[in-house]
Amino acid sequence: MRRFALLACAAVALLHAFVVQVSVVRGHSMEPSLCDGDRLVVDRVSPTLAGVARFDVVILANPRDPSVDYVKRVAALPGDVVALHDGELWIDGRRIEQGFAPIADHAEFEPLIVPAGHVFVLGDNRPISCDSREFGLVPVGLLRGTVRARFWPFHRVAVF
């Protein structure tokens, strides 16, 4: 029995370290999509094996302090020319429909080419979000995982 308990604990620890983790949203930068206190299931494997797609919600290490994790949305991928005009997202000179409802601001961000090995991230609550507009492009090595589901609070359960 003791051996089984140790093996089970080891298996859970390995799954948490390399495959899946639970993250708690702290702050309001992803509202209305994610709220302070939401509990998330994070896939730690996909960013490494398959990469990320535009508008994936990801957990990343803060480029200024890697001991702190942020939750943001991937807005632009390597090779994209990203810009913000009057709060609207533009990729390669075209306004992009986002398919979700960010809280817009009227910020301007001059066109920037996202280099290989980097992504450009934004919070959904743009007026208060600390994101690539402030800390710059994010090396893909700082992506900790892709958010796959919200499991708490129960009335807001969702799959991403």
Q: Which residues are catalytic?
A: 29, 72
- Terminal Cα-to-Cα distance of the chain (whole angstroms): 38
Q: How far apart are CA 58 and CA 60, in angstroms?
A: 6
Asked if 70 and 59 count as a contact pair (C-beta separation under 8 A), the reply is yes
- Residue 102 gets which letter from DSSP? -
Q: How far apart are CA 55 and CA 46, in angstroms?
A: 15
The pair of three-digit structure tokens given for residue 86, joined into one six-digit string:
């009057």
Q: How far apart are CA 119 and CA 25, in angstroms?
A: 21
